[in-house]
Amino acid sequence: MFRIIIFICLGALALYAKPAVTVSILPQQYMVEKIAGDTVDVVVMVSANANHETYEPKPSQMKLLAKSDIYFAVGLPFEEAWLERFAAASPKIAIIDTGKGTEKIELLEHRHHAAHDDDAHHDREEEHAVHEHEDHEHATHEHEDGLDPHIWLDPVLVKIQAKNIVSALSSKYPQNAALYAKNYENFAKELDALDAELSKKLAALKNRNFFVFHPSWGYFAKRYGLEQIFVEIEGREPKAAELVEILKETKEKNIKALFVEPQVSEKNAKIVADEIGAKLIRVDPMKKDLGKNLNELADTLLGL
Ligand SMILES: [Zn+2]
């Protein structure tokens, strides 16, 4: 009798188990949940305290992936190396590029611009070549195309990502398509309101430059007419000559604070901040509620 009850319970569980989808990062979980409501379980690949630039999926996550119907990629370096393996490990999984249709910016454009004299420029090019050679095997540390992956930190680009999520979910679960379309409309309104609020707030900002350790906020900066000065790129710290250029720029632009992510070594960030007498402020581009996160950053900038 007992066995029969267990059998029935397990059967019921299987019957009512929700389908699962996997995303790379927490802000994508936020987007998928906004659209899917409780119709799917969302698995997140990169945990809150992991470094999103150098991440490597765990064997347990590869196993879990086999239960997912969709993988929502966002364009992070680790995906370049792992998406093929995801597809091989889970033949039925649909891999969706949520960044499709977003206009990507060049990460190094700014740094090249900052290096005024020919020598520094030449130095950089040379160093880059060496770096590429040395790191040949560590494909996860390199963006092949050198494009900025942080597209989840601009409400306008989030709307495009949400649209891609809606189409993927609707073709996989057509029975819920009407719900997804309705949820998208609401989410799009929230994102429009967020964009308007940020525009209004940041219009009042006097110093249009801000200084960050890791260059997460390029799209946010571009959207609201700000400029992000940054220390490291793709997990790599600058050479001494580059750092001198960066620090010179922060002095010229009257920088008072250095924003640092919890995933970055506070010791390194403190050395840089102390050098220019700036205070260290924690920011986390990986927080799940991206709207709240962007508003908090805007408020912090206004409070400097
Ligand atoms: Zn990053």
Structure confidence by residue, pLDDT tens digits, 119-142: 444 444 444 443 433 333 333 344
Residue 277 lies in a domain: yes
Burial string for 188-205 (b: 16+ CB within 10 Å, else e) reads beebeebbeebeebbeeb
Q: Is the domain of 185 the same as that of 220?
A: no
If you measure from the C-alpha of residue 215 to the centroid of ligand 1, how many angstroms do you get, rounded to a whole number? 6
CATH code assigned at 161: 3.40.50.1980
Q: Which of 192, 218, 252 is the last residue of a domain?
A: 192
Mind listing the pLDDT tens digit for each residue in 257-281?
Answer: 999 999 888 898 999 999 999 999 9
If you measure from the C-alpha of residue 9 to the centroid of ligand 1, how many angstroms do you get, rounded to a whole number? 44
Per the structure, the complete domain to which residue 249 belongs is given by 108-149+202-303
If you measure from the C-alpha of residue 232 to the centroid of ligand 1, how many angstroms do you get, rounded to a whole number? 10
Half-sphere exposure of 9 (CA within 13 A, CB side): 6
Q: Is the domain of 228 the same as that of 270?
A: yes
- Which tokens hold the place of 153? 């930190």
Max Cα-Cα span within the chain: 83
- Report for 88-92, 142-146, 154-158: range of highest mean pLDDT: 154-158
Q: Is the domain of 181 the same as that of 291?
A: no
Q: Is the domain of 270 the same as that of 163?
A: no
Q: Is the domain of 80 the same as that of 221?
A: no
Q: Is the domain of 97 the same as that of 208?
A: no
Q: Is the domain of 118 the same as that of 187?
A: no
Residue 197 lies in a domain: no
Say which residue the tokens 């508003």 belong to. Answer: 295
Which residues are near ligand 1, the ion (C-beta closer than 5 Å)? 53
Are 247 and 227 contacting, i.e. CB atoms less than 8 angstroms apart? no
If you measure from the C-alpha of residue 149 to the centroid of ligand 1, how many angstroms do you get, rounded to a whole number? 7
If you measure from the C-alpha of residue 6 to the centroid of ligand 1, how many angstroms do you get, rounded to a whole number? 47
What is the DSSP secondary structure assignment for residue 17, as one 8-state letter? P
Residue 244 lies in a domain: yes
The C-alpha atoms of residue 269 and residue 267 are separated, in whole angstroms, by 5
The answer to whether residue 36 scores a pLDDT higher than 70 is yes
If you measure from the C-alpha of residue 148 to the centroid of ligand 1, how many angstroms do you get, rounded to a whole number? 8
If you measure from the C-alpha of residue 178 to the centroid of ligand 1, how many angstroms do you get, rounded to a whole number? 35
Residue 32 lies in a domain: yes
Q: What is the pLDDT of residue 264?
A: 84
If you measure from the C-alpha of residue 261 to the centroid of ligand 1, how many angstroms do you get, rounded to a whole number? 10
If you measure from the C-alpha of residue 35 to the centroid of ligand 1, how many angstroms do you get, rounded to a whole number? 25
Q: What is the pLDDT of residue 46?
A: 96
Mind listing the pLDDT tens digit for each residue in 73-120?
Answer: 999 999 988 999 999 989 999 999 999 999 999 987 656 444 444 344
If you measure from the C-alpha of residue 14 to the centroid of ligand 1, how many angstroms do you get, rounded to a whole number? 38
Mean pLDDT of the chain: 87
Q: Is the domain of 230 the same as that of 133?
A: yes
Radius of gyration of the CA atoms of the chain, in A: 22
Q: Is the domain of 231 the same as that of 166?
A: no
Count the domains in the chain: 2
Q: Is the domain of 81 the same as that of 183?
A: yes
If you measure from the C-alpha of residue 49 to the centroid of ligand 1, how many angstroms do you get, rounded to a whole number? 13
Q: Is the domain of 229 the same as that of 289?
A: yes
Q: Is the domain of 184 the same as that of 270?
A: no
If you measure from the C-alpha of residue 111 to the centroid of ligand 1, how many angstroms do you get, rounded to a whole number? 16
